[in-house]
Amino acid sequence: MNKNKRLFSQLARGIAIVFGSAAVLSCVSAPEPMPKSENFELTVLHVNDHHSTLDAKQQTLVWADQEWQVEAGGFPRVGAQIKALRAANDNVLTLHAGDAVTGSLYFTLFGSEADARMMNNVCFDAFTIGNHEFDTGDAGLAKFLQQLGSPQCQTAKLSANIQPEVGQSPLAPDNQWQMFKPYTIVKRGGEEVAIIGLTIASKTKKSSQPDKSTEFLDELETAQKYIAEVQQQGVEKIVLLTHIQYERDKELVQQLTGVDIVIGGDSHTLLGDFSEFGMTAADSYPTELTNVNGEKVCVVQAYQYSLVVGELKATFDGDKIAECGGRPHYLLSEDIQLADGIVTTYEPIKTALRESGVYSFVQPDPELQSILDDYRSKVDDFSAEVIANVPEQICSQQVDKSRRAGCAQVISSGAHRVVAEAFLHSVPEADFAIQNGGGVRSDIAEGDFTVGDAFTVLPFANTLVKLELTGSEFKQAMEEALAYAVSDGGSQGAYPYGAGIRYSVDLTEETGSRVSNLEVWDKGSQSWQPMSARATYILVTNSFIAGGQDGWDTFYRVSERGRARNTGIDYAQSLVNYARAQEVLQRPDEFATQAYTPLEDK
């Protein structure tokens, strides 16, 4: 060792001895300081699937063996609750888990403008793209994303698994992440938190209307890829903001590493204990699971239609979840009425609601209410005309769901049947009509039926399309749609409802044998005739499934071969015209589905 190195070594040892002695003296002369707590509480306020539902709704609650009526939800209440909870908590994230648009007259008349204005006022930290954001194509989504956010409100628009074609899609004029990003990283209380967006892949491609060149990547693989990417940047607190359905969320969590929190949407899942008031929830709020590494994960969702704001409280010990807490806030007016009978005081039910841990009395935010009122006046003017009377409620109820009180106890849906009849009324040259289950969005209520009601029942931007096809092509299309309805990532909304046609469905059979006894109403003989495989028929349907969505692939092929004509008739307007002509809309007693065997009977 040379002289300089030896001197340096001796000096270093001397310094170490001095500091070591000082440390010993310090330990002797003063008590050891308590270790600093690493616990960090993150509050996540969240909504999902509000579907342009900006107005409040009338809600029926069952309590003390009586029915009670109360106004619930509405986006001004959502905003008021979020603003109040944001002010009352530290380290807050405000998230929207997708399907903000389509589903009401606000979207029919104003596109995404009204929703964007309301959301900008609330100011979400991040929004993940849902399948219905694609209902007006990539161009419609691009317009909404441009409207969403402002200089005062920098909402991160997210989805890691949407892949638009660069240079072709309006979502990616110059590069893939031009309109949205796979994730964002935010700071709360000095801690970095990553938020990764996911959109349901198969359902969006087949049950919405993205551009054909836009691809959707596998949710699990994509989530793990971007979890790894943010971890490489030193971020370990990871939120998945998903629009992939509650059951799929639970599946993903148990296959992923690194995930801490899942804020979900798409399945409109109610979480929490609502049993005291006659409502059934799917699970607890929050739902606790473990990821691949055995680490705790908090999973939540906030129901639908501007009715619930979720308040998740996730406590971290270092970078791992130590505790999941919080509650849903089902938003109510304090004006509660007994549905039938008389009471001297409403305080007992109000007290029960306050103490429930799931309901909250909230006054609408004045600023949001003012914005909404500007749009509502135009909606009211458009929708007020009474066009028919409805003697008894005509329900929209899917074949695989339990029959609801006040609805006909039949296996099919009265509202879908009325819609299919309206299609035939508007296109009388058609032999029969088909309407997919997912396109009818509400019941037809007893009483006056207005223009607005028709557009509420059929809220999407669809037109009527005539298809010329053979009996064998139609049978194949039915089989494809039913296969999609029961497939993973598919949708029961593909199920066919019709007029001028009837059939039996057995989902326990293999694909190709699920549809039988196909018959078409023959106008000449006024009788039912077996559908001929070789005969050509004219079918009228909506432009959504005529384009091959919801698994109706053969319809798309028929359209591509030049055997389709778009009539240009708005499908909701066809219901308006039919109701006006009928004057009275009766509850149907004949249905296309003659017999139905569900999959679980196998």
Fold of 384-601: 5'-nucleotidase;  domain 2 (3.90.780)
The helix (run of H) or strand (run of E) holding residue 333 is strand 320-338
Q: Greater confidence, 8 or 126?
A: 126
Q: What is the pLDDT of residue 486?
A: 87
Q: Do the Cβ atoms of 384 and 452 come closer than 8 Å?
A: yes
Asked whether the predicted pLDDT for residue 521 surpasses 50, the reply is yes
Could you report the per-residue pLDDT of 61-77, keeping only the tens digit for each? 999 988 899 999 999 99
Report the CATH architecture of 39-377: 4-Layer Sandwich (3.60)
Q: What is the pLDDT of residue 400?
A: 72
CA distance 430 to 102: 29
Please give the mean pLDDT across all residues of the chain.
90
Which value, in Å, is the radius of gyration of the alpha carbons in the chain? Answer: 28
Banded model confidence at residue 488, pLDDT cuts 50, 70, 90: confident
Q: What is the pLDDT of residue 441?
A: 87
Asked whether the predicted pLDDT for residue 37 surpasses 80, the reply is no
Q: Is the four-CA dihedral 398, 401, 404, 410 of positive or negative sign?
A: positive
Banded model confidence at residue 20, pLDDT cuts 50, 70, 90: very low
Mean pLDDT over residues 446-474, rounded?
92
Banded model confidence at residue 601, pLDDT cuts 50, 70, 90: low
The 3-state secondary structure of 542-572 reads EHHHHCCHHHCHHHHHHHHCCCEEEEEEEHH
pTM: 0.76
Q: What is the pLDDT of residue 33?
A: 43
Banded model confidence at residue 60, pLDDT cuts 50, 70, 90: confident
pLDDT-wise least confident of 258-267, 275-284, 406-415: 406-415
Could you report the per-residue pLDDT of 220-229, keeping only the tens digit for each? 999 999 999 9
Mean pLDDT over residues 384-398, rounded?
93
Banded model confidence at residue 29, pLDDT cuts 50, 70, 90: very low
CA max distance for the chain:
117
CA distance 47 to 125: 12
Q: What is the pLDDT of residue 409?
A: 77
Q: What is the pLDDT of residue 492?
A: 83
Could you report the per-residue pLDDT of 324-339, keeping only the tens digit for each? 999 999 999 999 999 8
Asked whether the predicted pLDDT for residue 401 surpasses 90, the reply is no
Asked whether the predicted pLDDT for residue 16 surpasses 70, the reply is no
Domain boundaries, the chain: 39-377, 384-601
Q: If you ran DSSP here, which 8-state letter would residue 599 be given?
A: G
Could you report the per-residue pLDDT of 130-167, keeping only the tens digit for each? 999 998 899 999 999 999 999 999 999 999 999 999 99
Q: What is the pLDDT of residue 449?
A: 97
Asked whether the predicted pLDDT for residue 558 surpasses 60, the reply is yes
Q: What is the pLDDT of residue 444?
A: 96
Tokens of residue 374, six digits: 């500007």
Query: Closest Cα to residue 111, out of 163, 69, 63, 52?
Result: 52
366-383 helix and 113-122 helix, angle to the nearest 10 degrees: 170
Q: What is the pLDDT of residue 21?
A: 35
Q: What is the pLDDT of residue 90?
A: 95
Tokens of residue 325, six digits: 């807490």
Tokens of residue 188, six digits: 């709360």
Asked whether the predicted pLDDT for residue 34 surpasses 50, the reply is no
Mean pLDDT over residues 301-319, rounded?
97
Q: What is the pLDDT of residue 6?
A: 38
CA distance to 148, 182, 194, 304, per residue, from 178 (Å) = 14, 11, 19, 29
Mean pLDDT over residues 422-442, rounded?
94
CA distance 329 to 310: 6
Q: Do the Cβ atoms of 483 and 470 come closer than 8 Å?
A: no
CA distance 61 to 259: 37
Q: What is the pLDDT of residue 38?
A: 66
Phi, psi angle pair for 287, to nearest 5°: -90, 130
Mean pLDDT over residues 66-95, rounded?
96
3-state SS assignment for residue 339: coil
Asked whether the predicted pLDDT for residue 2 surpasses 90, the reply is no
